[in-house]
């Protein structure tokens, strides 16, 4: 087994990774709140965890990857539930809002070629379990009820010698009293840093459930404590999310789990850094934002051309997940060029042949391939792993051009280099060559095909077999074959 090291936010240091059960990993990542279109910052975080998931699989682990959908309880600063607000705005049922944006999120994850999680639980599907956890925390003396709402008692938690603020590094006295989930009811709390785990619904609050304390809804942080425990056990291996979730979300998650079962939920906490644009936080109100669709089409004043989702994925891989990633047109253009170079080198490599038993370049090539994996083992360092792989490019090109001798790479090494390059490019980095996908350089056709396959998928979901067969037969007549796999449909000419 490789020696994997990961940066554990809880310890603020890199540690050797050792799973609880040998060969198996439980990983929980906080998913999106589905009340609006997914933004490119969210995509960066989920692509980062996709690469982490892929690399753990590459190393041979059996991974159970759980990523939730937040469909209740994540409140806005004014105390309104994000989903309810979406429902009010579009005159829809809250669950219609959830479905619409969840579908959009899934499509975007497919476009970025991310693997689906093994379980994708939704908060509203786990209200009973959340009520049970609130009760467990009350029974352990670490929560109290006030006017139908239930608050976590941070002061008592600290008095019992438990560490609140450990993950985020905040001191309890410095903690802001106004966290976003319970802004409305500051006066009900015994201590300003206490937080709501069950919230009594006001008469106009549409998402509400019966509980022993009131008709209400769970606090936002509770869902992740409950769903990670349910599917991965009381203590599991990896918990991930964007670093903006460290406080209060993850800090409170830890307190809830410790409060309910007296054990830490996760051994390793991994946090991704934020996506910036032109060096600043992406923000619609400051006219400094771009949607994924605009990035694909180029229809934005911030960029000079459209970029293929794989060029964007490559761009994301060029920075480490713990560093900020600054999206600028120049950086995107450079990434686009680099990605094409990599795709070309891959094509060339696959066409190379050797009949030599020994090769003077063998050792160097082996060192580069092993080096790329070693970089990934160093806290999933994708930029350094990519840089290693790029060391192969001049060797591949020189060999193809005859600038280095035909017997400088052995047959055996060339065969394993092809296999290993492919595994890193496809399985670990999750890339594919847009030129290859449709058998030609048809970017527009690629987009049309995605649309057609989406429509066909919708038809299949609605059991509209006539439409779905009509599309498949029509495409077959045009010489396009559609293959339905576990991870969706793909096409080829």
* Interface ranges with Zn ion (CB under 5 A): 30, 224
Binder among 275, 317, 335, 373 for ligand AMP (CB under 6 A): 275
Picked from Zn ion, ligand AMP, none, the partner binding residue 410 (CB below 5 to 8 A depending on kind) is: none
The token pair at 486 is: 């576990």
Q: Which of Zn ion, ligand AMP, none sits in contact with 93, Cβ below 5 to 8 A by type?
A: none
Question: Which window, 194-202, 239-247, 408-416, 467-475, contacts ligand AMP (CB under 6 A)?
Answer: 239-247
248 touches ligand AMP by CB under 6 A: no
Q: Which of residues 48-87 bind ligand AMP (CB under 6 A)?
A: 70
**Residue 153 touching ligand AMP (CB under 6 A):** no
DSSP codes, 462-488 = TT-HHHHHHHHHHHHHTT-EEEEETTE
Query: Segment contacting ligand AMP (CB under 6 A): 13-21, 26-34, 156-164, 421-429?
Result: 26-34
* Of 301, 452, 319, the residue nearest 386 (C-alpha): 319
Alpha carbons 216 and 209: distance in angstroms, whole number: 5
- Does 245 engage in binding with ligand AMP (CB under 6 A)? yes
Closer CB to Zn ion, 67 or 388, in the complex:
67
For ligand AMP, the closer of residues 242 and 265 by Cβ is: 242
Identity of the residue, 227 or 376, whose beta carbon is nearer to Zn ion in the bound complex: 227
Question: Does 282 sit near ligand AMP (CB under 6 A)?
Answer: yes
Question: Could you check whether the bond before residue 248 is cis, i.e. omega within 30 degrees of 0?
Answer: yes
Residue 146, CB-side half-sphere exposure with 13 Å CA sphere: 17
The closest residue (CB) to ligand AMP is: 242
The reply on whether position 286 binds ligand AMP by CB under 6 A is: no
Q: Does 44 bind ligand AMP (CB under 6 A)?
A: yes
Rounded to whole angstroms, the Cα distance separating 492 from 479 reads: 9
Residue from 242, 265, 292, 359 touching ligand AMP (CB under 6 A): that is 242
Closest contact distance (angstroms) between CB of 33 and ligand AMP is 4
For residue 210, the SS3 value is strand
One residue of 6, 25, 27, 42 binding ligand AMP per CB under 6 A: 42
User: Where does this chain touch ligand AMP (CB under 6 A) — which range of 37-45, 226-234, 359-367, 435-443?
Assistant: 37-45
**3-state class (DSSP) for residue 396:** helix
Q: Under a CB-based contact definition with an 8 Å cutoff, are residues 271 and 379 in contact?
A: no
Which residues, 6+ apart, have CB-to-CB distance to 330 below 8 Å?
none
In this structure, the strands spanning 236-242 and 13-16 are unpaired
Q: Which does 224 bind (CB under 5 to 8 A by kind): Zn ion, ligand AMP, none?
A: Zn ion
Asked whether 98 and 71 are in contact (CB, 8 A), the reply is yes
Q: Which is nearer to Zn ion, 165 or 265 (CB)?
A: 265
Rounded Cα gap, residues 255 and 232, in angstroms: 18
299 binds ligand AMP (CB under 6 A): no
DSSP letters of 430-451?
Answer: ----HHHHTSS--HHHHHHHHH
Quote the least distance from Cβ 47 to ligand AMP, whole Å.
Answer: 10
Instruction: Please tell me whether residue 259 binds ligand AMP under the rule CB under 6 A.
Output: no
Binding ligand AMP (rule: CB under 6 A), the pick from 27, 30, 207, 386 is: 30
CB of 34 to ligand AMP, least distance (A): 8
What's the chain's Rg over C-alpha atoms?
25
Q: Which two tokens stand for residue 492?
A: 């080829």
- 3-state DSSP call for residue 275? strand
Distance from first CA to last CA of the chain, Å, rounded?
Answer: 40
Q: Is the dihedral of CA 47, 49, 50, 56 positive or negative?
A: positive
Choose between 244 and 469: whose C-beta lies nearer to ligand AMP: 244
Q: Considering beta carbons, is residue 245 or 453 the nearer one to Zn ion?
A: 245
Name the minimum Å distance from CB 234 to Zn ion.
17
Q: Is 114 in the site for ligand AMP (CB under 6 A)?
A: no
E strand map for 202-274: 209-210, 215-218, 236-242, 266-272
* The one segment of 57-65, 274-282, 370-378, 385-393 that binds ligand AMP by CB under 6 A: 274-282
* Residue 41's binding partner out of Zn ion, ligand AMP, none, with CB under 5 to 8 Å set by partner kind: ligand AMP
Q: Under 8 Å CB-to-CB from 30, ≥6 apart: which residues?
A: 67, 68, 70, 224, 240, 241, 242, 245, 249, 250
Alpha helices by DSSP H, listed for 276-328, are 292-297, 309-317
Q: What tokens appear for 360 in the block? A: 């003077």
Residue 271 to residue 12: CA distance in whole angstroms? 11
For residue 98, state whether it binds ligand AMP (rule: CB under 6 A).
no
Q: Which is nearer to ligand AMP, 109 or 342 (CB)?
A: 109
Nearest to ligand AMP of 44, 64 (CB atom): 44
Kindly state whether residue 149 participates in binding ligand AMP, applying the rule CB under 6 A: no
Residues making contact with ligand AMP (CB under 6 A)? 30, 32-33, 41-42, 44-45, 70, 241-242, 244-245, 272, 274-275, 282
């Amino acid at each position: 087994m490789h020696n994997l090291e990961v940066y554990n936010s809880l310890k603020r240091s890199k540690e050797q990774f050792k799973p609880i059960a040998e060969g198996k990993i439980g990983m929980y990542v906080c998913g999106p709140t589905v009340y609006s279109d997914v933004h490119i910052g969210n995509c960066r975080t989920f692509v980062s965890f996709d690469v982490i998931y892929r690399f753990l699989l590459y190393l041979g682990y059996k991974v159970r990857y759980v990523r939730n959908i937040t469909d209740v309880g994540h409140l806005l600063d004014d105390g309104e539930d994000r989903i309810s607000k979406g429902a009010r705005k579009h005159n829809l049922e809250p669950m219609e809002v959830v479905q619409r944006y969840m579908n959009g999120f899934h499509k975007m994850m497919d476009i970025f070629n991310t693997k689906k999680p093994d379980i994708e639980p939704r908060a509203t599907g786990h209200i009973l379990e959340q009520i049970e956890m609130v009760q467990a925390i009350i029974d352990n003396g670490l929560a109290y009820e006030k006017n139908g709402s239930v608050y976590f008692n941070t002061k008592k938690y600290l008095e019992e010698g438990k560490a609140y603020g450990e993950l985020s590094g905040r001191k309890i006295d410095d903690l802001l009293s106004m966290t976003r989930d319970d802004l409305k009811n500051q006066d009900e709390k015994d201590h300003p840093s206490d937080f709501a785990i069950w919230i009594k619904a006001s008469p106009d609050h549409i998402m509400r459930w019966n509980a022993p304390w009131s008709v209400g809804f769970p606090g936002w942080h509770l869902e992740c404590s409950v769903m990670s425990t349910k599917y991965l056990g009381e203590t599991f291996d990896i918990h991930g999310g964007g670093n903006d979730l460290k406080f209060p979300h993850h800090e409170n998650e830890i307190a809830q789990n410790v409060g309910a079962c007296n054990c830490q939920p996760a051994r390793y906490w991994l946090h991704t850094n934020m996506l910036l644009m032109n060096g600043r936080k992406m923000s619609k109100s400051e006219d400094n934002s771009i949607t994924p669709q605009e990035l694909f089409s180029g229809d934005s004043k911030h960029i000079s051309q459209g970029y293929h989702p794989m060029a964007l994925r490559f761009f994301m891989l060029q920075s480490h997940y713990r560093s900020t990633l600054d999206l600028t047109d120049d950086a995107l253009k450079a990434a686009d060029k680099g990605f094409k170079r990599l795709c070309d080198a891959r094509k060339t490599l696959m066409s190379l042949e050797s009949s030599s038993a020994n090769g003077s370049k063998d050792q160097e090539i082996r060192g580069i391939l092993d080096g790329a994996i070693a970089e990934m083992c160093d806290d999933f360092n994708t930029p350094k792993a990519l840089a290693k792989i790029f060391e192969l490019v001049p060797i591949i090109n020189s060999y193809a051009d005859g600038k280095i001798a035909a017997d400088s790479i052995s047959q055996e090494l060339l065969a394993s280099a092809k296999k290993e390059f492919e595994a890193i490019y496809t399985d670990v980095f999750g890339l594919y060559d847009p030129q290859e996908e449709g058998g030609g350089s048809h970017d527009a056709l690629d987009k049309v095909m995605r649309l057609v396959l989406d429509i066909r998928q919708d038809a299949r979901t609605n059991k509209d077999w006539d439409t779905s067969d009509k599309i498949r037969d029509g495409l077959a007549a045009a010489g396009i074959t559609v293959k339905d796999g576990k991870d969706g449909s793909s096409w080829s000419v």
